[in-house]
Structure 1
Amino acid sequence: MLNLLKLEWHKHHMARYFKSFLFCIIGIYAFMALISLGSKNDVDGAMSSFKEFMSLFNIISNITFIIFGSVILSRLIISEFRTKTMQVMFTYPIQRKKLLFAKLTLAYLFTVGSLFANIWLMQIITYFLQPSLGLFEGTVTLQDLIATLPTTVSNSLMMGAIALIPLIFGMRKKSTATTITSAVIIAFLINSTVSNGSETFSLTNVVFIPIILSLFGIAIAYLSFRNIDIKDVG
Structure 2
Amino acid sequence: MLQLLKLEWRKHRLGRYFLSFILCVVGIYGFVIFAALSSKNDIDSVIPSYNDFLTLVTLLTNITFIILGGVILSRVIISEFRSKTINVLFTYPIRRKILMLSKLLIVFALTTGGLFLGTWIMQGLTYFLQPSLGFFEGTFTMQEMLATIPKTITNAIMMGAIALIPLFFGMRKKSTSATITSAVIIGFLINSTVSNGGASFSLSDVIIVPLIFSLLGAGIAYLSIRNIDRKDVV
Please give the range of the TM-score, normalised by the shorter of the 2 chains: over 0.9
> How many Å separate the matches in 2 of 1:188 and 1:27?
17
Gaps of 5+ in 2: none
Task: Specify the code of the residue in structure 1 equivalent to 2:3.
Answer: N
Q: What is the rounded CA distance, in whole Å, between the counterparts of 2:208 and 2:98 in structure 1?
A: 31
Provide the residue aligned with 1:28 in structure 2. Answer: 28
Summarize deviations over 1:202-234 as a string: whole Å, max 9, x none.
Answer: 001111111111000000000001000110102
- Distance in 2 between the 1:9 and 1:140 partners? 39
What amino acid maps onto 1:46 in structure 2? V
2:147 is paired with a residue whose SS is helix
TM-score, normalised with respect to structure 2: 0.99
Which one-letter code corresponds to 1:233 in the other structure?
Answer: V
Paired residue for 1:177?
A: 177
Matching residue of 1:186: 186
Q: Which residue of 1 aligns with 2:217?
A: 217
Superposition deviation, residue 90 in structure 1: 0.4
Equivalent residue runs for 1:148-187 within 5 Å = 148-187=148-187
Structure 1 stretches (4+) deviating beyond 4 angstroms?
A: none
CA deviation after TM superposition for structure 1 residue 123, in Å: 0.4
Q: What is the aligned-residue identity percentage?
A: 62
Query: TM (normalized to structure 1)?
Result: 0.99
Q: Partner amino acid for 1:124?
A: G
How far residue 81 of structure 1 moved from its aligned partner, in angstroms, is: 0.4
Letter in 2 for 1:104: L
Asked whether 1:71 is paired with 2:71, we answer yes
Give the Cα–Cα distance (whole angstroms) in 1 for the partners of residues 13 and 183 of structure 2: 22
Task: Tell me the number of residue pairs that the alignment of Structure 1 and Structure 2 aligns.
Answer: 234
Cα deviation per residue 1:98-138 (whole Å; 9 max; x = unaligned)?
00010001110111000000001110000001011111111
Q: CA–CA distance in 2 between the matches of 1:48 and 1:38?
A: 12
1:157-179 Cα offsets, whole Å, 9 max, x none, are 00000000000000011111100
Aligned pairs for 1:119-130 within 5 A: 119-130=119-130
- Give the match for residue 12 of structure 2: 12
Q: CA shift at 1:196, angstroms?
A: 1.6
Partner of 1:227: 227
Distance in 2, Cα, partners of 1:197 & 1:114? 32
Question: Displacement, 1:199?
Answer: 1.3
For structure 1, the 5+ residue unaligned runs are none
Match of 1:118 in 2: 118
Q: Report the counterpart of residue 143 of structure 2 in structure 1.
A: 143
Distance in 2 separating the partners of 1:202 and 1:177: 27
Deviation of the 1:195 alpha carbon: 1.0
